[in-house]
Amino acid sequence: MARFSPRFGGRRRSEAEGLPPGQYLTRDFPVLSAGPTPRIPLDRWEFWIRTETGVEHRWTWPELTGLPAETPTVDLHCVTKWSKLQTTWSGVPMEDLLSTVESTAEFAMVHSYGGYTTNVPVADLLDGKAWIVHTYDGKDLTPEHGGPARLLVPHLYLWKSAKWVRGIELMTRDEPGFWESVGYHNYGDPWREQRYQGD
């Protein structure tokens, strides 16, 4: 996560400088969910990655939370225009999970408990850009913010950070997820203000 604005040659940026175009700063943490909050008992929870050849890899809750975790501090940008800076999470880097599967697929569909989906290029899940997080601000992730675990992919608008994440389907061709299929941008880079199709 870049903490320094290139315009200022490494000087610590102000909060305003951390805001992508059209965003405003918020200090609270709004909840945005398209449907009811699913409750998943941890003994029935699992996370899967399915490859383009149909091979499925599964992690139970103890398996996932037993993997080495990172604690990224990142900025969140919601397409409804609020941004929250310097949020701290803990979770497993997506690349650690993806590196255990054999795949050449370039696209991923993220699936949530409850049925939500969102598409992300595989490249955007690698290189320290995405995590399956189970902790927010030092505490277990609450159900309304996606607990027990959500995807965190903070360099894209927050709708790509699927709450209640259940699995990742690797695909050789791109497909739109829930919001992408009703007019939101396919990629969703907040710095290029890619809110809607055609932006």
Ligand X SMILES: Nc1nc2c(c(=O)[nH]1)N[C@H]1C(S)=C(S)[C@@H](COP(=O)(O)O)O[C@H]1N2
Give the nearest distance from C-beta 158 to Mo ion in angstroms.
5
Does 25 engage in binding with ligand X (CB under 6 A)? no
Give just the sign of the alpha carbon dihedral 199, 84, 61, 125. positive
Residue 159 is a binding residue for ligand X (CB under 6 A): yes
> Which amino acid belongs to residue 97?
L
Among 40, 78, 85, 126, indicate the residue that binds ligand X (CB under 6 A).
78
Distance CA 174, CA 45 (A): 27
Residue nearer to Mo ion on the CB measure, 61 or 82: 82
CB 170 within 8 A of CB 108: yes
Record the tokens describing residue 152, joined without a space: 């965190």
Residue 149 or 162 having the CB closest to ligand X: 162
By C-alpha distance, which of 68, 31, 63 is closest to 45? 63
Does residue 183 bind ligand X (CB under 6 A)?
A: no
How far is Cα 148 from Cα 52, in angstroms, rounded to an integer?
27
**Does 112 interact with ligand X (rule: CB under 6 A)?**
yes
Least separation in angstroms between CB 159 and Mo ion: 4
Element (H, E) at 64: helix 61-65
Examine residue 33 and tell whether it contacts ligand X (CB under 6 A): yes
Rule CB under 6 A: is residue 85 a binding residue for ligand X?
Answer: no
Shortest CB 175 distance to ligand X, Å:
17
Applying the rule CB under 6 A, the residues between 34 and 63 that interact with ligand X are 34
